[in-house]
Chain A
């Protein structure tokens, strides 16, 4: 029933808006946390380097510990930059997919992009012929561009197929099922490859599936960073259209949105981000599905104008934190990144969602 206006309680609380001021405060806090976590990630490791040194090293000042320069600039900085790019990229790709499919469970890999990448890598690692032993030693460092190339090929193949189908398919839900089918078909193929492979290769493949930020070198970063930045740029500019899509495709079209073009840009942006991240770091789970929910809960909005920048920074923070946590305290032992994102992320997201008012649930 509609109540007459004089009966509606317009208290100070109900008219509160998502004001840019509040939003800017949140962004300032997030940026500050980001800088802290970034420095923490550089200083933390099997060898602890004090933050004061990190700042001096980063600003190019000579210190009394030249070896620390080496460690920070050539190992930890590449790792941290990779984490930032992958974290931001996957989180934004996840947001795109959740809005596009209007499904709160969607993640960057829902189109089957990472299945394609996995298949590419599995083919490269598991089915290699006699030359395999040499290849394997390189695989173990996870720094091999060959693996990335195989993953990119696989991801691009799936992306091409998705794009082809998306032209003739009206409903985005059909794409969802398509991605699901790709996923199970490729995992079946990968299982088959594993079944006929040898333990050393299987282990190399398994290590790839655990994900890692540490395997990316400066040379690889020169390829990866521009590609990720292009993906992030494309995605970040879609805010207005993504808001329209929240209403559903019919409403979006009635608002003057060119659905075909937007659909292409969304698929392109998400695929570039998911494909590239997977190619260089393996399939990093959880960040893509969790970060958008954290951002929505933090800002209490579904408006992409505000969500996109928040997701960008939150993704980077989460990836850096996860990377810090992979380093077991006091040891040289490093845990796989996927273990950390899920182990620490799942309870956190549960808490975020459950602390909300009863009945409000999860939504896009």
Chain B
């Protein structure tokens, strides 16, 4: 049985405004975070993900209900006590002027060091361990401002780890990263949870990645209600569709990806094999065709085939056959047809 690091009961989050009216973002939240698990918080922009993270991290007070952190009520804990249990990586970039990586990571020792911030050997070890865990050890000696976005994010995670937290909360840690950087970051968070036993909570817009690495997903919709479960359970229950579908975009449970709905679906038959067929299908779907394996003979037929070591695409329609040398040219011909159906028929 995994230990619960954080639980909420009947938690309401939002903003206290002057006067009597509060801006309620979400209410009645019953959430928990286990050690050794990576939880991804997913939801559309404006759903209140950041508000939830800030409330759980004690950066803002709940409107109602309570958060229990390692057996204590969050609202009754001292700042230092909280700092030794939760650490953060926030979205806003920090602007330190001339600070070296190890100095910045060392600031994670703040709650543990004395008044003059002298680092004991145990502190130095914690800093080193944190940099190793966050893949930031190779950045030692460099100025933080001279790092790339990806490197900075790893340093910020290292800084958070130097706090030796039970719970690590990250607000969109992949926001400014390129694709390999995102994958690397999410895998690292998974490793921190599974191998080092941290409870990791991270909000993200990378649905694809979250589905692949998260142990548990909090899916927050615009009304502030949260459905939760393992990513696969949520897909099968159709929760992603409910949360994200809006005009023109729908969640495809078969692929686990979003696809754009195009209104005018024409059918096309595709023959071929291997990787050429796969990418041809992608292209046809992209421009809005329903791709069939077999169908009526009056439908356009695309054959992806190898000829003399080169791929070509044969398009059969209206009795004529035209060979295309690239997917672009094929798609171009088909789209023209689609925009201007009569001219296609006349040809």
Contacts and interface: CB of A to CB of B under 8 A. Distances in A.
Interface of A: 1-3, 5, 8, 10, 14-18, 102, 237, 239-240, 243-244, 246-248, 250-251, 253-258, 296, 300-303, 305, 360, 363-364
Contact of B108 (A16, A250, A255): A255
B138 A8 contact: yes
Contacts of A251: 88, 90, 94
A18 B94 contact: no
Given A14-B142, A16-B141, A243-B107, A1 B150 contact: yes
A246 B99 contact: yes
B197 interface: no
Contacts of B107: 243-244, 247, 255
Contacts of A244: 107, 110
Contacts of A240: 110, 113, 115-117
Interface stretch (B32-40, B76-84, B210-218, B244-252): B76-84
B221 interface: no
Contact of B102 (A17, A237, A254): A17
Contacts of B94: 246-248, 251
Given A3-B138, A363-B97, 19 more contacts: A1-B178, A1-B180, A2-B135, A2-B151, A2-B154, A10-B138, A240-B110, A244-B107, A246-B99, A247-B94, A253-B79, A254-B86, A256-B82, A258-B79, A302-B96, A303-B99, A303-B103, A305-B116, A360-B145
7 smallest CB-CB distances across A and B, nearest first, come from A256-B83, A363-B97, A15-B141, A5-B138, A256-B80, A255-B110, A302-B97
A364 B95 CA distance: 8
A360 B83 CA distance: 32
B170 to A, nearest CB: 12
A48 to B, nearest CB: 41
B329 interface: no
Interface string B183-226: 01000000000000000000000000000000000000000000
12 contacts: A2-B181, A8-B139, A15-B140, A17-B100, A240-B116, A240-B117, A246-B94, A248-B90, A250-B54, A251-B94, A253-B58, A360-B145
A2 to B, nearest CB: 5
A1 B154 CA distance: 11
A356 to B, nearest CB: 10
Contact of B87 (A1, A254, A305): A254
Contacts, number: 115
Interface in B147-165: 148, 150-151, 154, 163
Nearest to B150: A2
A237 B117 CA distance: 11
A257 B142 contact: no
A161 to B, nearest CB: 20
Chain B CB count within 10 A is highest, among A18, A255, A258, for A255
B111 interface: yes
Interface in B48-85: 54, 57-59, 78-84
Contacts of A303: 99, 103
Contacts of A16: 141
Contact of B100 (A18, A246, A258): A18
A82 B6 CA distance: 56
A297 B190 CA distance: 40
Contacts of A2: 135, 150-151, 154, 180-181, 184
B93 to A, nearest CB: 9
B296 interface: no
Nearest to B169: A254
A364 B97 CA distance: 5
Contacts of A14: 141-142
B99 A301 contact: yes
